[in-house]
Chain A
Amino acid sequence: MILRRPFFWIIAAIVAAFAIAPAIGDNIELRESLVLAAVYITLASNINMILGYAGYVNFGSIVFFGLGGYFSVWLMSAHAWPLAAALVAGGVAVSALALVFGLGILRLRGVYFALSTIGVNEGVMAFVANFGPWGGSTGIYLSPALFQPLGGPAKALWVIYYLLVGIMGLSLVLSYAVKRSKFGLGLLAIGQNEDAAALLGVPTPRYKAIVYSLSAFLPAIAGGLYFFKSAYIQPPDAFDLQLSTETIVVAMLGGQGTVAGPALGAFLYEELRGWLLTSPTFSHFQLVVAGVLLLAIVLFAPGGLMGLLYRLWPRLRSFLE
């Protein structure tokens, strides 16, 4: 059982640290930095299932986050759905859509697949920007009254934070459970050599479509929470290719294909980014850093930080995943 493995408890410890640290002394500044870290970890862990396990580079994974945001925000503002129902509905709707897109574009391989994922993101953004019910290019603004059921804005921000940390924890558990499963083994085989995997009986089309759809679910819910927190959503923020690219950098920095790597990479990257943004010399410099990091990883450390750690202490492999 998953509960008996040490790695599960490492995940639990990470989640507990996220939950407790900002609560000590009501540290709102720390909470806001950890909100972003939790979002990055969620996005990176989920993209890792398709990028790190199945070996498909999804440049447009942010479309899940943005669409999830739109679905939830719209359900709450136009149909007065409660937060929880709107979030779950957003996750389900986006996963279903991803399944449809996935069955189409996962016939492509390599660079063609990567390009098509950008196409999906840009296509969806163009559609949303012209979609009346979702406010077209002006997007949707939420009324502050929507925070009332959660006990007013100040308290609502804490509720949202804890929900996001929960989604982050679920992402790590999902990513771990998948890796340990037969499904995960099939994905890893696809990632190593898709033709050989198919010859051995791995149902490659189905597995790829399922993982593409599965990797959409939690990011969509995270999007719902994130844009509920912002109280507005607009196409360029929801479908931000820059964030999409950063997600890939983060997963590769930590070590694609490992469970802990994307979380580690996301946390370090977010802290670094926070520092770069507040340091006057480097403002908006994070993309340059991201680019240089990506190059350095691809050239010198294809296994990312986890790869380096494993090389230094091979015994880590026995309890880190």
Chain B
Amino acid sequence: MNALLEVENLSKQFGGLRAVQALSFEVREGTILGLIGPNGAGKTTVFNLLNGVFAPDEGQVRFRGADITGLAPFRVARHGLARTNQIVQPFANMTVLENCVVGACFGRENLPLARAREAAREAVTLVGLEDRLDALASQLTIAGKKRLELARALAARPTLLLLDEVLAGLNPVEIERMIGIIRTIRDSGISILMIEHLMQAIMSLSDRIVVLNSGAKLAEGLPAEVAADPMVIGAYLGDPGFVDKLRES
């Protein structure tokens, strides 16, 4: 299995705050890599560095062999790296379909409008929003908006999908459903890097897990290895719920 995404020695500082420190990891083709860590650990910042929202102070990002470090977000998208936002960012006055057409038009395949509409429809169907195709994005529930984020990213037919807490704010039924969708996506050949706080979900979905704490990598390994790592448990001592959930899974 080849490395699709290679991150090497990535660092980012905000003023005096070292949000990401010398972080290295890789995502292999066809797998799901989970990225976990307490609030403020720097997970979303890592995504922002990969996507080009911020340029890293140090380090390198290689995607399918190409150096994409510090490229503008729209150029990164063209390389086939799509992403959902932790705080949903729908185009509120566009329909569900139009939202996804934007993803399809400007993503990896850079499709013309007519073909983008087909790709968008497929993505909408995959996430189960097909009956809301012509609804304005602003009219969706929070669960609907989360699914729209995912559909829009998928419509780009990416090679690698970055998911930032797509399960947060969903009820257990919706979570179950979303987990199924994520598996389907992975099985369709799209690799995934996902941030998640829900331990059970991330442990069962991920092939490997990277644990981030205060911007630095604390541990990495198979889900079971990470869950048993005393360092990881130690890092979450301030969060007893977290430890319980780790043990559960």
**Which residues does chain A contribute within 8 Å of B156, judged by CB atoms?**
200-201
Report which residue of A185, A189, A197, A201 has the largest number of chain B beta carbons within 10 angstroms of its beta carbon: A201
**Which residues does chain B contribute within 8 Å of A203, judged by CB atoms?**
74, 106
Q: How far is the CA of A298 from the CA of B188 in the complex (A)?
A: 47
The number of residues on chain A lying at the interface, defined by a beta carbon within 8 Å of a beta carbon of chain B, is 19
Q: Is the C-beta of B159 less than 8 angstroms from some C-beta in chain A? A: no
**Which residues does chain A contribute within 8 Å of B73, judged by CB atoms?**
195, 198-199
Asked if A202 meets B94 with Cβ closer than 8 Å, knowing A181-B113, A185-B113, A193-B89, the reply is: no
**CB proximity of A286 to chain B, nearest CB, Å:** 31
Asked if A192 meets B91 with Cβ closer than 8 Å, knowing A181-B113, A201-B77, the reply is: yes
Asked if A199 meets B77 with Cβ closer than 8 Å, knowing A186-B105, A189-B102, the reply is: yes
Asked if A192 meets B93 with Cβ closer than 8 Å, knowing A181-B113, A185-B101, A202-B106, the reply is: yes
Report which residue of B53, B72, B74 has the largest number of chain A beta carbons within 10 angstroms of its beta carbon: B74
Q: How far is the CA of A44 from the CA of B8 in the complex (A)?
A: 51
Q: Is the C-beta of A316 less than 8 angstroms from some C-beta in chain B? A: no
B-contact 0/1 string along A175-218, CB 8 Å cutoff: 00000011001101100110111111111110000000000000
Q: How far is the CA of A193 from the CA of B72 in the complex (A)?
A: 16
**Which residues does chain A contribute within 8 Å of B43, judged by CB atoms?**
none
Q: Is the C-beta of B144 less than 8 angstroms from some C-beta in chain A? A: no
Q: How far is the CA of A203 from the CA of B82 in the complex (A)?
A: 15
B74 contacts A196, CB within 8 Å? no
**Which residues does chain A contribute within 8 Å of B83, judged by CB atoms?**
199
Q: Is the C-beta of B37 less than 8 angstroms from some C-beta in chain A? A: no
B106 contacts A192, CB within 8 Å? no
**Chain A residue nearest in CB terms to B91:** A192
B-contact 0/1 string along A60-82, CB 8 Å cutoff: 00000000000000000000000
A201 contacts B78, CB within 8 Å? yes
Residues of A at under 8 Å CB distance from B? 181-182, 185-186, 188-189, 192-193, 195-205
The 6 closest A-B pairs by CB, nearest first: A201-B77, A201-B106, A192-B91, A196-B89, A198-B73, A189-B102
Beyond the given A189-B94, A199-B51, please list 19 additional residue pairs across the A-B interface where CB-CB is below 8 A.
A185-B101, A188-B91, A188-B98, A192-B91, A193-B90, A195-B73, A199-B53, A199-B85, A199-B89, A200-B77, A200-B82, A200-B102, A200-B103, A200-B152, A201-B77, A201-B78, A201-B107, A202-B74, A204-B74
